[in-house]
Structure 1
Amino acid sequence: MNKIYPKIIIGSGGTGGHIYPGIAIAKAIKRKIPESNILFIGSKYHMEMNEIPKFGFSIKEIYLSGGRNKLSSISSGFVLLIQLIRSFFLLNKIIKKFSPNLVIGTGGFVSFPTLLAAINNKIPILIQEQNSYPGLTNRIFSRYANKICIAYEQAKKFFPKKKTILTGNPVRSEIINNPSKELACNYLGLNKEKPVILSLGGSKGSDNINNVWIRGGLKKLINLDIQLIWQIGNFNPRKIKRSEFYHPNFIFMNFIENISICYAAADVIISRAGALTISEICIIRKPTILVPLNNSSDNHQNNNAKILEEKKAILIVKEEDIQDKLLDSIIQLINDINLKNKMVKNMLHLSMPNATNDIIHEILQIISFYEFK
């Protein structure tokens, strides 16, 4: 008898926080079942169309340019409605042609029409929620989901109890198995004997964090002989004086492709409080200062960060205090060995390195009608 191998659609797009959980799940499925067929759905206008093919996966585009922020005016809300309707009918065609056994939604606006089309075609769905306060799409579709995998205990109250399981966020295997600091510094051309700061601003960068370095931060790092790996995002490097920008202690890039190397090299991490980044930081256990984005949807970044702050696993600098406090907090943390050790120890209790395997287990239970060994 011929085996039937799974076909799975993953709706994953908008930001790295939605894209990389989908990639981690897809890679784990392929390791478990190499013959499986996985198709991503993404927005033509966002980074997933470039990022997902880099990992060897196919992706179909829909024409959806934004989420809840598009509801700020009648005209933009009307455009979003037209895009949703168009995407829904396109996804119906994709689902009927691809004939998936399961559709996975990792949240965000791309997941909305993807999950809606799956329900319309009576395809089982699994939801993966990254945040402590779930996004609107996942809250809406939770009643229809076969299983909901969450990363925070606090998210349970928003979902049907019998369907919901605490797994943690899926993290790519290369981050779990990241190299030593010595190897990472050698690869990046940094001195392993000097402190290294990794500055992240989310997949699109952060002007507020970038401005800390421009307005005196770089000069102070030079004086203290501290190295910086700087993800500048969409920031224009011409705004920085060339003499500071190209100092040998500094590495800058618009987007970090090999994040595991940069994590390994870092002594201290500065980051937004996206759920996936937090999960990665807890696994690699590096002292961290989080700067939650104030206008994140449902204030989820502040909610995520506060959970770790209560466990004394990270420090928080509020966005409104970033210019006055961030740089001093970084220098203080670099020099406080006891505080760094305490943070690393507390992160150990928050990390969930088996999250991806636990999610795959739930996926296989849903599509258990076929045989496979």
Structure 2
Amino acid sequence: MSKRIIIAGGGTGGHIFPAIAIANAIRLQQPDVEFLFVGAKGKMEMERVPQAGFRIEGIDIAGLNRSSLIKNIGLPAKIIKSFFQVRKIFSEFHPDAVIGVGGYSTFPVLKHAQAKGIPTFIHESNSFAGKANKMLGKGASKIFTGTDGMEKFFPAGKIMVTGNPVRKEIVESKIDKNDAINFFELEHNKPTLLVVGGSLGAKSINEAVLAGIDELIKAGLQIIWQTGKSLAEEAAQKAAEHKEVWANTFISNMEMAYAAADIVIARAGAMTVAEICVTNKPTIFVPYPFAAEDHQTVNAQQLVNKNAALMVKDADAKTKVVKMAIELAANADKRNEISHNLSQLAITNAAERVATEVLKTIE
């Protein structure tokens, strides 16, 4: 009889894309495994997971709103309701194992699985563990981490350092740069800057690029710009005015964007960092300063320490990041050095390692 696995989590691409990568890797090793994803209603996993060919159930769950306590009034009721929804999902699907990748839905799903004695696995992508994952760690069968040094958050005997699963289409990409440039309708003889603020966008990065767009174009650069929702209209206007600018709220074909790019400006979420290592693209990281425990700065600093990236503080983005991008575009030696150092840090088989371990446990 085929095995059944629930994968819980989402909220951002940094949780969703590794989850899909893990599911695909498991399916490759054992094609008859049945999957059910569980996400938070209204979050991006409800759209992205079906697009990747997997079934998803949504539950009514949200996190604590730290900026407005009044918005937390309905939270206890939502949490209680989510546990009833999870119980119903389990009684219908009967999972053999549950994998949590982070995000609101991870906690009620893994907590219920652990209470029922079902093997649970956690994938913690960041170098600083989230609260829910820390609480679930003691009851987990195995904890997969993106980086080493995670013993301060989890029981040492349960940790397996796998690296972070990067989307298959990025890991296995053989896209020719000329084809990628054609895809974005840009020119072949200009250095290309990829601006990406994570799947939800980045206000400070967008403001910096918006303010410095004429400077970038004057320096001979062209731009592929994933805006998210922040300043999307203004960016679209710039793209309409300048043939050197391609802008959209979301890039579905990130493998194309990486293939076209010579340099990158990005947030420093764990998955972005992993993709940068795999694609060897010289990057200026602008870590999101309000991420839990400032983990994006820790993620970026690990690469900066190895001379494999540059970093600008969020508060300095508007005055520094465009100037740094122009300087990096003009310095081929520096770009080559960073690319070489990134290639030493790339992990391309993280999803396969997770898949092997999960299947070994539920055989």
For the criterion TM > 0.5, the same-fold answer is: yes
The code of the aligned residue for 2:215 comes to: K
Within 5 A, what are the aligned runs for 1:107-122?
A: 107-122=102-117
Residue 236 of structure 1 and its aligned partner are, at CA, apart by 4.3
Which stretch shows the higher mean deviation, 54-63 or 297-306? 297-306
Equivalent position to 1:300, from 291, 295, 301: 295
Q: Is the 8 A contact 1:197 1:266 kept in 2?
A: yes
Q: Which residue of structure 1 aligns with residue 52 of structure 2?
A: 55
1:191 alignment partner in structure 2: 187
2:98 to 80, 91, 103: 103
Partner amino acid for 1:79? G
How many angstroms apart in 1 are the aligned matches of 2:57 and 2:191? 43
Amino acid at match of 2:143: I
Q: CA deviation at 1:187?
A: 2.3
Q: Where do 1:234-273 residues align within 5 Å? A: 234-239=229-234, 242=237, 245-273=240-268
Contact 1:13 1:19 in 2 (8 A): yes
Instruction: Say whether 1:147 aligns with 2:142.
Output: yes
- Equivalence map 1:320-331=2 (5 Å): 320-331=315-326
- Give the direction of change, closer, same or farther, for the CA distance of 1:120–1:78 in structure 2 (3 Å limit): farther
Distance 1:96 1:242, change over 3 A: closer
Cα 1:238–1:15, aligned 2, differ >3 Å: closer, same or farther?
closer
How many residue pairs are counted as aligned between the two chains? 362
Kindly, what percent of the aligned residue pairs are identical? 39
After superposition, the CA RMSD in angstroms is 1.6
Checking the alignment, whether the CA contact within 8 Å between 2:177 and 2:259 is kept in structure 1 is: yes
Alpha-carbon distance change, 270 to 126 in structure 1, aligned in 2, over 3 angstroms = same
Give the secondary structure class of the aligned counterpart of 2:135: helix
TM-score, length of structure 2 as denominator length: 0.96
Write out per-residue CA displacement over residues 145-191 of structure 1, whole angstroms, 9 at most, x where no aligned residue: 00110011122332111111110001111101221212211222222
- Decide whether the 8 Å contact of 2:217 with 2:244 is kept in 1: yes
CA deviations on 1:88-134 (whole Å, 9 max, x unpaired) are: 11101101210001000001222011111111222110000000111
Residues 162 and 335 of structure 1: CA distance in aligned 2, closer, same or farther (over 3 Å): same
**Structure 2 spans left out of the alignment, 5+ residues:** none
TM-score w.r.t. length of structure 1: 0.93
Q: Does 1:18 align with 2:25?
A: no
Q: Give secondary structure in 1 for the equivalent of 2:151.
A: helix
CA shift, 1:309, in A, is 1.0
Q: What do residues 23-63 of structure 1 show as CA deviations (whole Å, max 9, x unaligned)?
A: 11111122222221100011112111111100110000001
Structure 1 residues 127 and 229: alpha-carbon distance in aligned structure 2, compared to 1, 3 A threshold? same
- Superposed CA deviations along residues 242-294 of structure 1, whole A, max 9, x for unmatched, are 46644111111101111011011000011000000100110110100000001
2:41 to 40, 44, 55: 44
Deviations 1:314-342, CA, capped at 9 Å, x for gaps: 00000111111001000111111121111
In 2, Cα distance between equivalents of 1:241 and 1:235: 11
Instruction: Give the CA deviation at 1:303.
Output: 1.1
Of 2, 7, 30, the residue aligned with 1:5 is 2
Which amino acid is 2:196 matched to?
A: L
The 8 Å contact of residues 225 and 249 in structure 1, kept in 2 or not, is answered as no
Pair 1:211-2:207 in alignment:
yes
> Which aligned pairs between 1:17-96 and structure 2 lie closer than 5 A?
17-65=14-62, 67-68=63-64, 70-71=65-66, 75-96=70-91
Deviates more, 1:229-238 or 1:296-305: 229-238
Paired residue for 1:200? 196
